[in-house]
Amino acid sequence: MTPMVNARNLVVAALLAFLLLLPVYTGVTGNPFLLTLFTRIVILALAATSLNLILGYGGMVSFGHAAYLGIGGYAIGILASEGITSGFVQWPVALIVSALVALIIGLFCLRTRGVYFIMITLAFAQMVYYVAAGLARYGGDDGLTIYRRSQFDGLNLSNKPTFYYLCLALLLGTIFLVWRLVNSRFGLVIQGARSNERRMQSIGFPTFRYRLTCFVIAGTLCGLAGALLANHTDFVSPAMMYWTRSGDLIVMVVLGGMSSTFGPLIGAVALLVLEEALSGLTEYWQIILGPLLLLVVLFARGGIDGLLEAASLRPRLGGGADAKVRRG
Amino acid sequence: MIYFIEQCLNGVQLGMLLFLLAAGLTLIFGIMDLVNLAHGSLYMLGAYFAATLVAWTDSFLLGVPLALLATLVVGMAVEVVAMRRLYGRDHLDHVLGTFGLILFFNELVRLIWGPAGMTLFLPSWLNAAVPVLPGLYYPLYRVVIIVVTILVALFLYGLVMRTRLGMLIRAGASNREMVGALGINIKLLYTFVFGLGAALAGFAGLMQAPILTVQIGMGENILIVAFVVIVIGGIGSIRGAFVASLFVGMVDTIGRAFFPDLLRLVLSKEAAATAAPALSSMMIYLLMAAVLVLRPEGLFPAANR
Amino acid sequence: MTHLPIVSTRHLMPLAVAGALALAASPAAAQQKTVKIGFISTFSGPTAVIGNDMRNSFELALDHLGRKMGGLPVEVIYEDDQQKPEAGKQKTDKLIESDKVDFIVGYIWSNVLLASLKSAVDSKTFLITSNAGPSQLAGELCSPYVFSTSWQNDQTPQVMGLYMNQKGVKTAFLIGPNYAAGKDMLAGVASTFKGQVVGQELTKWPDQLDFSAELSKARAARPDAIFVFYPGAAGVQFLTQYGQAGLKGQIPLYTAFTIDETTLPRQKDLALGVPGAQEWVNDLPNEENKRFVADYIKKHSGARPSFYGAQTYDAANLVNSAVVAVKGDTSKKDEMRAEMEKANFKSVRGNFKYGKNHMPIQNFYLQDVVKDADGNFVLKTVATIVENDQDRFHDKCPMK
């Protein structure tokens, strides 16, 4: 049994406290850039958390998850450019379209496994990318500027701290939702299907339906992240959906720790903060980054969360076994 | 009609270049079960090596083989240092690890050659147009690409079908444990196969270089298309890669050429002109999706695995 | 592309927090002791040669100004937009929010400019575009905070259209890249060309550098002439493939922004005899231009500046005129704007005026490519095609 006060829980608690108090800090020091940076981090953490649902827990390696960022974003962008700026219309549209597209893509892709699944999710994401690039009316490859953010009565999204807290609240809500899902019967079926689908089916679970539902939920949540991202940057473009963006999301999840509650958040923070901090220091630091990712894959498979957890466990009987079971 | 034939030739030329890339990729995937995203980086290195070596030696005919050799060496080095540790692991691990290699190579190239990119100049004797048919002038260099890649395809066919090495490759694609159990040095085989794939990718890169530019990240776009090709063709099958490359090359080129006219019948002129390039790009993905749904092992599946 | 952590993951969290705090501490409230200029251009990929030309010219202008404006030292922060609207916008945001610049200069590409425009305008930061000139900027999106030292995209191709009429061209095939400027260019030619446009092709930008399909189509349509717009390395590729396709003697080419001092060294004899139009040409006889070109050649071992550089040189002097007018107090934005609207500086293209939309009203010249006495390929002015040309979108601009 790991004690409550351990390295991993301390780190998570510190991070959450930091995130909660950030606007106060930036308000005092007068540095809006930091708030902008962390708003972006929080939004991408939301996207990564949604990916973790299918990737970490479900074992579905979707290389096309960034498509939903784009769908959510373009829903906001297109409606805004047509004069519909009410958030009460825009956001539900973003979520519904994301869900529908996830349903369609899932229906095709979930019939495949392994590398074919990777390839076909990637193919569908590229198709969504090319559709967006072909929308000449909405900027095409050049992208679309959003002149007014989503309007909600009583909530001014153009106010930075307000918007930040909204994103943070949605992130925490998503983490909670995913946690509940995973620890429910639904979640157990998903994880079981990841380990051994045939056995789950022989027990009597219609695994395809479960996995599809999981896939749709993940896509919808990522669409929400897309809507937030569009509001944050006041700009959408097909580049949001290019396959390398999906790769970035996967890296965040794996780096943070797959199939762990706060792993995606930790991964997003780690990735993006260091991207900002280090790109100022030296021009060629990515040359170490690439091999580092390889090393993480080879030796630190559980990501940061896994390392923290290993640090949390005292070396005693059962501690090692616990860790292995936890990592799934 | 002339125009149609010209476009068909363009399609064949694109297909042949795709084949060079896809052949290596499918071999590596088929034999070592390795998803190699860094294949595009080897493509890029081939182009960069060629641009540099042709400029140094001031000779196209000398620079090209040297560049091939350089890419082969780099490929084998990468296999020994990095790829070996990924064999047998989850495909996700491959994807992540080789994604990291993409970053590494992009940055390495930027460090060595600078961010601006390079140009590979054709010698003047290649820079002409030849009358392929009465009334149809086609760039000589593109004809050379088609001829050379067909020769490479024949060479690969000979290698895989008629030599002992090829037999080992085919056997490894079918059942690698058995091959290992028979006492063959699997490690060496793998290094060789990876090196061969790297050389093929580098060759594709340098052949493309005079037509397109040589720049960082040039592998990312074409890598996806290469994966589409091997999925359609069947993983592990060179014959499948050949057929699928031609298919994809033709669909892409003919699509780009004639689809806008088709669209113009239905949509306004401007809408058609801007939508067509995007939609014809989508076509190859739709093709792949269709193949995966109807015949998931691909058109010419390699083995019973 | 993603950027990933450099340190071992065990130390990640403390380092991340420290990094964040360091970020917070560093861009503290900057004292107004320097004039801060942000510069956005492309410094990677095949079009980096343009960005470098612009940077070199900007630096030369600063050298000529003694690296001071209105008594204050000048600080320039160069950022790479990677030719992508998203990246350009991110860098613009960074310059405004993190570096807190007083001016932003640059922007080669119209799509990058359009993506970044809102950030500059909303934050009331002066933006000087020294190349991109999308029609929207001259029209409905004009802003009191945006000035151009280049042109509006349609103007130069419009001039080519007039020239093609002069040469008796009856049918034309138009080829260009599928982004904001490409569309503007082709529309510009079509607006003044009196003959028939028998075909038009927009190619995927910036990925597509293989024009075999479009050249085949052009050949099949049998036009009197082909008009093309492909900036930077794409221009080199196009001309090369045009030559390879055997079209060089068959169908004459008319260009805008496809042949310039950055591409000519590689295009060489493929560019001989191919006309193009410009608002600035290297052999303009005014003093300022002679000094600019001579010093540039001296500083960069024989390389010649292009129109991109000339426009950027002017941008530096435009900014300087504003800072001098307020004696270094860059918080006086209205006074700076009033000064800039006068175009009260010595431009290398000769004096010009601003329209109410802050776009230059200027002359356009026709250029041809010839071989000089040393056997080098150079651009030579052949004629003045229009004088005091104003863009055709200024009526849509709501500014007075």
Q: Is the pLDDT of residue C148 over 80?
A: yes
* CA dihedral for A234, A244, C203, C311, sign (positive or negative): positive
Could you report the per-residue pLDDT of A178-230, keeping only the tens digit for each?
999 999 998 888 888 888 888 888 888 888 899 999 999 999 999 999 999 99
- The angle that helices B39-57 and B218-233 make with each other, rounded to 10 degrees, is 130
At C28, the pLDDT band (50, 70, 90 cuts) reads very low
Residue corresponding to tokens 């000089």: C372
Q: How far apart are CA B169 and CA B167, in angstroms?
A: 5
What is the distance in angstroms between the Cα of A148 and the nearest Cα belonging to chain B? 27
- Per-residue pLDDT band at A327 (split at 50, 70, 90): very low
The per-residue pLDDT for range B107-131, each reduced to its tens digit, is: 899 889 988 778 787 777 777 777 7
Q: Which of B18, B211, B252, B264 to mutate to test the interface with C (most CBs of C within 10 A)?
A: B211
A119 neighbourhood in chain B, CB within 8 Å? 227-228, 231, 288, 292
In angstroms, the CA A118 to CA B96 distance is 12
* Rounded alpha-carbon distances, angstroms, from residue C287 to B281, C146, C277, C281, C346: 52, 28, 22, 14, 9
Most confident of A32-46, B201-215, C237-251: A32-46
Query: How close, in Å, is residue B115 to chain C by CA atoms?
Result: 5
Cα(B239)–Cα(B235) distance, integer angstroms: 10
Three-class DSSP category at C372 = coil
Q: What is the three-class DSSP state of A257?
A: coil
State residue A215's pLDDT score: 95
Count of CB atoms situated within 10 Å of the CB of A286:
25
Cα A14 from Cα A9, distance rounded (Å): 8
How many residue contacts between A and B have a Cβ separation below 8 Å? 123
Cα–Cα distance between C186 and C169 in angstroms, integer? 16
Does the distance separating the beta carbons of B296 and A290 come in below 8 Å?
no
Q: What mean pLDDT is predicted for residues A235-255?
A: 89
CB A9 within 8 A of CB A16: no
Of B3, B210, B273, the CB nearest to C220: B3
Does position C27 have pLDDT exceeding 80, yes or no?
no
Asked if C44's CB is within 8 angstroms of B216's CB, the reply is: yes
Q: For C295-322, what is each residue's pLDDT tens digit?
A: 999 999 888 899 999 999 999 999 999 9
Cβ count within 10 A of residue A105: 25
Measured between alpha carbons, how far is A148 from A151 in angstroms, rounded to an integer? 8
How high is the pLDDT of residue B304?
43
A-chain CB neighbours of B274 within 8 Å are 134, 136, 140
Residue A320 pLDDT class (50, 70, 90 cuts): very low
At residue C36, the 3 state secondary structure works out as strand
Statement: residue C164 has pLDDT above 60: yes
Q: How many CB pairs under 8 A join A and C?
A: 136
Those residues with Cβ within 8 angstroms of residue A198's Cβ, 6 or more apart along the chain or in another chain:
none
Given pLDDT bands bounded at 50, 70 and 90, which one contains residue A314? low
- pLDDT over 90 for what percent of chain C? 53
Asked if omega into C206 is within 30° of 0 (cis), the reply is: yes
Q: How many CB atoms lie within 10 A of CB C140?
A: 12
* Residue labelled with tokens 């060759």: B203
Contacts for A49 with CB less than 8 Å, ≥ 6 apart = A171, A174, A175, A178, A221, A264, A265
Residue C348 CA to residue C365 CA, distance in Å, equals: 14
CB of A94 within 8 A of CB of A76?
yes
pLDDT score of C216: 82
What confidence score (pLDDT) does residue A281 get? Answer: 67
pLDDT, tens digit, 9 for 90 and up, residues A70-87: 999 999 999 999 988 898
A293 has pLDDT over 90: no
Average pLDDT over chain A reads 86
pLDDT at C365 over 70: yes
Q: How far apart are CA C388 and CA C21, in angstroms?
A: 54
> What DSSP state is assigned to residue A56?
I
Phi-psi region of C224 (alpha: psi -120 to 50; beta: other; left: phi over 0): alpha
Task: Point out the residue among A237, A275, A303 whose CB comes nearest to the CB of C3.
Answer: A275
| ipTM rounded to 2 decimals | 0.79
- Across chain B, mean pLDDT equals 84
Q: With pLDDT > 70 as the criterion, what percentage of chain C qualifies? A: 92
* Amino acid (1-letter code) at residue A328: G
Buried b (16+ CB within 10 A) or exposed e, B18-27: bbbbbbbbbb
pLDDT at site C127: 96
* Range B181-197 average pLDDT: 86
End-to-end CA distance of chain A: 17
* Amino acid symbol at C285: P
Dump pLDDT digits (tens) for B41-98. Answer: 999 999 999 999 998 888 888 889 999 999 999 999 999 998 888 888 888 888 888 9
* Mean pLDDT for the stretch of residues C237-254: 86
- Between chains, do C245 and B103 touch, taking CB under 8 Å as contact? no
Is-above-0.90 flag for pTM?
Answer: no
Q: Which of B6, B127, B211 sits opposite C216 (nearest CB)?
A: B6
- Decide if pLDDT at B257 tops 70: yes
A140 lies within 8 A of chain C by CB: yes
> What would the pLDDT profile of C51-91 be if each residue is shown by its tens digit?
999 999 999 999 999 999 989 999 999 999 988 898 899 89
Distance, CA of A151 to chain centre: 24
Distance (Å, whole) CA C175 – CA C349: 29
C193 token code pair: 């060309």
Asked if residues B28 and B86 have their Cβ atoms less than 8 Å apart, the reply is no
Backbone angles phi, psi at B31, to 5 degrees: -90, -45
Is the pLDDT at B261 greater than 80, yes or no? Answer: no
Mean pLDDT, range C320-346, rounded to an integer? 91
Mean pLDDT of C187-211: 86
Q: Tell me the percentage of chain B whose pLDDT exceeds 90.
A: 24
SS (H, E, C) chain B: CHHHHHHHHHHHHHHHHHHHHHHHHHHHHHHHCCCCCCHHHHHHHHHHHHHHHHHHHCCHHHHHHHHHHHHHHHHHHHHHHCHHHHCCCCHHHHHHHHHHHHHHHHHHHHHHHCCCCECCCCCHHHCCEEEEECCEEEEHHHHHHHHHHHHHHHHHHHHHHHCHHHHHHHHHHHCHHHHHHCCCCHHHHHHHHHHHHHHHHHHHHHHHCCCCCECCCHHHHHHHHHHHHHHHHCCCCHHHHHHHHHHHHHHHHHHHHHHHHHHHHHCCHHHHHHHHHHHHHHHHHHHHHHHHHHCCCCCCCCCCC
Residue C175: name the closest of C134, C230, C246, C247 by CA. Answer: C230
Residues of B in Cβ contact (< 8 Å) with C200: 273
- CB atoms closer than 10 angstroms to residue B208: 25
Q: Which of A254-258, B170-174, B255-259, C106-110 has the highest mean pLDDT?
A: C106-110
Q: How many domains does chain B have?
A: 1
Residue reference for tokens 């923070």:
A269
Give the range with max mean pLDDT: A29-33, A235-239, B254-258, C53-57. C53-57
Say how many C-beta atoms besides its own lie within 10 A of residue A185's C-beta: 9
- pLDDT at A328 exceeding the cut of 60: no
Check CB contact under 8 Å for C237 and B3.
no
Residues on chain B touching C240 (C-beta within 8 angstroms): 127, 210
Distance of alpha carbon C391 from alpha carbon C158, whole angstroms: 10
**What's the pLDDT score for residue C84?**
87
Residue C20 pLDDT exceeds 70 = no
Measured on CA atoms in the order B117, B122, B128, B129, is the torsion positive or negative? negative
Question: Which of B204, B51, B216 lies closest to B119, judged by CA?
Answer: B51
Which of the residues A40, A142, A236, A272 would you substitute to probe the C interface, choosing the one with the greatest number of C C-beta atoms within 10 Å? A142
Can you give the residue range of the structural domain that contains B32?
Answer: 2-304
Q: How confident is the model at residue B271 (pLDDT cuts 50, 70, 90)?
A: low
Residue B112 CB contacts under 8 Å (≥ 6 apart), including other chains: none
CA distance A31 to chain C (A): 7
The pLDDT value given to residue A282: 65
Give A-chain residues touching C3 at CB under 8 angstroms: 271, 274-275, 278-279, 286, 289
Q: Which of A103, A97, A105, A48 is nearest to A245 (CA)?
A: A48
- In which band, very low, low, confident or very high, does the pLDDT at A122 lie, cut at 50, 70 and 90? confident
Using DSSP, state whether A24 is helix, strand or coil: helix
Interface of C with B in 177-236 (CB under 8 A): 178, 200-204, 207-210, 212-213, 216-217, 219-220, 233, 236
Residue B234: predicted pLDDT: 86
Most confident of A52-56, B2-6, C2-6, C264-268: A52-56
CB distance C13–A304 less than 8 Å? yes
Whether residue B153 is predicted with pLDDT greater than 80 in this model: the reply is: yes
Rounded mean pLDDT, C286-294? 92
Question: Would you give the DSSP letter of residue C45?
Answer: S
Residue whose tokens read 């690039």 = A133
Is the confidence at residue B302, as pLDDT, over 90? no
